[in-house]
């Protein structure tokens, strides 16, 4: 993860959904290990990936820290506020917003629309005095980068005039000195690239969400502030230039300056529309002057990637149109500093793989013939061959191909079904078989096996015509509970059956096997065990009987001996003879 480029990825949050790849108009996304990252040299900072990322893994580089640092320094900081602020802060008056920005520490607030007026005036002169041909606007930095990188043969058609922001920064420095700091505030990510490339004119570019963050941290609520009559845009309020944020707004301002000129005006918004309209264009019919207003965001800057879209797009446009003040007649617009700019081609060096390499890449994702190339766009690329090129360039992974993953999963599932010794079947809620293995067919007779051989998997077969105990499947589908029978009797056979819900009420599966022979062996073993036990009991009883007899005889003998011994001890001893006197 790097924060050097205006758009980066939080890898821990990326859920490998590839939605950013699908929506990126220039495919400036590299996927590695399931995580999508922006490729800066290919990116044009349109912000589409930021808008569509469902888990907000794509983030815009935050400039609030640098802004605080600038505001803390002695040099005065001037805000160049994009004219789309009218739609972004719809419940805030200009005086309230200016007061809020000054409370943050800005020395003054100026409208970028003043620079737009300078640009329109300069382009009007180009159209009045220039030769016929194609001219492309330079107002949108993202659209300009797109042409330079992906339509480099048209880079020479870009008007040699800086963007409204660069013209405005030049104007502010001419007015207040080169020692000031200039910070752009608006809905555009591409302006961050302009700030990075032109630090001598523009110190920083922040987005509306970053400005709101600053307001929250400083406990500033612009809607609650009282506007001071002295608070106004410096050096003056913009007029027709305030219409630039809506599609066609630039053309309207140029027409206002060039009334009567024979110029065809066109407006192209959205990079996909630019690619569609200008792709392959080599030249214009002779004698015609065409000016194309290019905007990267569909509908204009009011729909920028860092703008809130909490109201219908028409209302957002109307707010800008109502706010725009048109002068009674064209005015001379100029600044002492030059707003001239050059936009040389910067073509993306796209590798051209050999045909054999493309074939090998396609084969690696299971596409061995033209029929396999579905061009389903699931991977994010328009065609399978474009995806193969991305694989070769290291920008994509085989796992991004949905059909390839499906085939791989199907192969694994089939291999698992074939290797399982039990019968396996999967059916839908109507008990129509979705998939089964051969072992399942063998459980229910030769006819079922023959049908399986004719149609492997028995897809679409009626389970109730094959399995006698299909009522268990219906019961499980209705209750949503799994069913287990260890010894289910079916005729003269016994089955071990486990029925389980895969999608409750929709898809059900079962694993079953014939346990008839197992149960017979078990009964035989039990019978023999009972026979052995009976014999053992008989032996024990016989031993006990004989031991009882021997104990009785022994008891009689011992009693006899004891009695005899007792009789002898009862006879009194004879007295000793008396002694005779000597």
**CA 401 – CA 410 distance, rounded (Å):** 14
Is the sign of the CA dihedral 8, 10, 13, 15 positive or negative? Answer: positive
Per-residue pLDDT of the chain (582 residues; tens, 9 = 90+): 446 899 999 988 998 888 999 999 999 999 988 889 999 999 999 999 999 999 999 999 999 999 999 999 999 999 999 999 999 999 999 999 999 999 999 999 999 999 999 999 999 988 886 667 899 999 999 999 999 999 999 999 999 999 999 999 999 999 999 999 999 999 999 999 999 999 999 999 999 999 999 999 999 999 999 987 778 999 999 999 999 999 999 999 999 887 667 889 999 999 999 999 998 887 677 778 899 999 999 999 999 999 988 778 888 889 999 999 999 888 888 777 789 899 999 898 877 777 789 999 999 998 989 888 888 888 889 899 999 999 999 999 998 998 888 888 878 888 888 888 899 999 999 999 999 999 999 999 999 999 999 998 899 999 999 999 999 999 999 999 999 998 898 888 899 999 999 999 999 999 998 988 775 566 565 566 666 666 666 666 666 666 656 666 666 666 676 666 665 555 555 665 555 554
- Same domain for 425 and 442, yes or no, is yes
Question: Is position 538 within any domain?
Answer: no
Note the pLDDT of residue 582.
Answer: 44
Asked whether residue 150 falls in the same domain as residue 271, the answer is: yes
**Do residue 144 and residue 251 come from a single domain?**
yes
The CATH number of whichever domain residue 19 belongs to comes to 3.30.70.20
265 & 360 share domain: no
**Distance between CA atoms of residues 302 and 287, nearest Å:** 35
Residue 339, in any domain of the structure = no
Domain total in the chain: 4
CATH number, position 470: 3.30.450.20
Please check whether residues 97 and 236 belong to one and the same domain.
yes
- CA separation for the pair 94, 92 (Å, rounded): 7
Q: Do 407 and 501 share a structural domain?
A: no
What SS3 string covers 278-327?
Answer: HCCCCCCCCCCEEEEEEECCCCEHHHCCCCCCCCCHHHHHHHHHHHCCCC
Q: Look-up: residue for tokens 């020692």?
A: 179
Q: What is the pTM of this model?
A: 0.76
Q: What is the DSSP letter of 36?
A: E
Final residue belonging to a domain, choices 517, 533, 554: 517
Longest dimension (CA), the chain: 191
What pLDDT, on a 0 to 100 scale, did the predictor assign at position 547? 62
Same domain, 307 and 360: no
413 and 453 fall within a common domain: no
- By 3-state DSSP, what share of the chain in percent is helix, strand and coil, each rounded to 5? 45, 15, 40
Distances (CA, A) of 331 to 12, 112, 257, 293: 54, 18, 8, 21
564 domain-assigned: no
Is there a contact between 79 and 213 (Cβ–Cβ < 8 Å)?
no
Query: Domain for residue 336, yes or no?
Result: no
Confirm whether 574 is domain-assigned. no
Is 179 inside a domain boundary? yes
DSSP string for residues in 137-199: --S-HHHHHHHHHH-GGGGGGB-SB--HHHHHHHHHHHHH-TTSEEEEEES-SHHHHHHHH-T
Q: Are residues 150 and 19 in the same domain?
A: no
Count CA within 13 A, CB hemisphere, residue 131. 6
Domain closes at, from 402, 417, 432: 417
Same domain, 403 and 304: no
Asked if residue 547 is part of any domain, the answer here is no
The last residue of one of the domains, among 11, 42, 61, is: 61
* 101 and 132 Cβ atoms separated by less than 8 Å: no
One domain for residues 133 and 73:
yes
Which residue range forms the structural domain that includes residue 35? 1-61
What is the per-residue pLDDT for 555? 63
DSSP H or E segment with residue 117: helix 113-129
Q: Is 342 helix (H, G, I), strand (E, B) or coil?
A: coil
Q: Enter the tokens of residue 417.
A: 């079904």
* Claim to verify: residue 245 and residue 124 sit in the same structural domain: yes
Q: What is the 3-state secondary structure (H, E, C) of 488-522?
A: EEECCEEEEEEEEEEECCCEEEEEEEECHHHHHHH
Backbone angles phi, psi at 525, to 5 degrees: -65, -40
For residue 461, the Cα-to-chain-centroid distance in whole angstroms is 38
User: Is position 150 within any domain?
Assistant: yes
């Amino acid at each position: 993860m790097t924060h050097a480029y205006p758009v980066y990825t939080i890898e821990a949050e990326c859920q490998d959904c590839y939605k950013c790849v699908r929506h990126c108009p220039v495919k400036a996304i590299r996927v590695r290990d399931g995580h999508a990252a922006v490729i800066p040299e290919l990116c044009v900072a349109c912000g589409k990936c930021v808008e569509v990322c469902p888990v907000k893994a794509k983030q815009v580089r935050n400039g609030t820290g640098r802004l605080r640092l600038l505001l803390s320094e002695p040099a005065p900081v001037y805000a160049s506020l994009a004219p789309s602020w009218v739609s972004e802060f719809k419940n805030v008056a200009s005086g309230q917003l200016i007061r809020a920005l000054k409370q943050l520490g800005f020395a003054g607030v100026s409208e970028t629309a003043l620079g737009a007026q300078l640009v329109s005036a300069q382009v009007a002169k180009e159209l009045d005095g220039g030769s016929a041909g194609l001219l492309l606007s330079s107002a949108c930095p993202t659209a300009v980068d797109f042409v330079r990188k992906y339509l480099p043969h048209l880079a020479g058609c870009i008007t040699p005039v800086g963007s409204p922001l660069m013209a405005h920064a030049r104007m502010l420095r001419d007015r207040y000195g080169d020692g000031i700091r200039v910070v752009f505030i608006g809905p555009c990510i591409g302006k961050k690239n302009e700030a990075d490339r032109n630090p001598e004119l523009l110190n920083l570019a922040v987005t509306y969400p970053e400005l709101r963050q600053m307001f929250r941290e400083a406990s500033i609520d612009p809607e609650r502030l009282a506007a001071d009559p002295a608070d106004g845009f410096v050096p003056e309020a913009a007029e027709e230039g305030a219409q630039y944020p809506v599609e066609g707004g630039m053309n309207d301002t140029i027409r206002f300056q060039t009334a009567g000129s024979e110029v065809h005006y066109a407006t192209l918004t959205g990079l996909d529309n630019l690619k569609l309209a200008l792709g392959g264009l080599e030249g214009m019919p002779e004698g015609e002057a065409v000016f194309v207003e290019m905007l990267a965001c569909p509908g204009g800057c009011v729909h920028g990637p860092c703008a809130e879209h909490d109201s219908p797009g028409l209302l957002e446009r109307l707010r800008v149109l109502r706010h725009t003040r048109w002068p009674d007649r064209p005015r001379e617009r100029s600044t002492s500093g030059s707003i001239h700019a050059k936009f040389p081609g910067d073509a993306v060096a796209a590798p051209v793989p050999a045909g054999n390499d493309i074939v090998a890449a396609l084969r690696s994702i299971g596409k061995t013939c033209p029929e396999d190339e579905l061009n389903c766009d699931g991977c994010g690329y328009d065609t399978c061959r474009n995806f193969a090129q991305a694989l070769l360039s290291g920008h994509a992974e085989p796992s991004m191909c949905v059909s390839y993953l499906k085939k791989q999963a199907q192969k694994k599932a089939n291999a698992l079904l074939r290797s399982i010794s039990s019968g396996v079947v999967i059916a839908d809620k109507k008990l129509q078989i979705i998939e089964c293995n051969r072992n399942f067919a063998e459980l229910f007779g030769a006819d079922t096996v023959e049908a399986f051989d004719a149609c492997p998997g028995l897809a679409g077969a009626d389970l109730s015509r094959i399995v006698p105990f299909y009522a268990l499947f219906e019961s499980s589908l209705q209750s949503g509970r799994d069913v287990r029978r260890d010894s289910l009797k079916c005729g003269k056979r016994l089955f071990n059956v486990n029925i389980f819900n895969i999608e409750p009420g929709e898809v059900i599966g079962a694993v079953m096997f014939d346990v008839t022979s197992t149960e017979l062996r078990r009964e035989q073993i039990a019978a023999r065990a009972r026979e052995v036990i009976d014999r053992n009991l008989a032996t024990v009883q016989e031993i006990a009987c004989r031991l009882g007899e021997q104990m009785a005889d022994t008891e009689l003998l011992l009693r006899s001996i004891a009695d005899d011994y007792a009789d002898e001890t009862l006879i009194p001893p004879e007295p000793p003879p008396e002694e005779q006197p000597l």
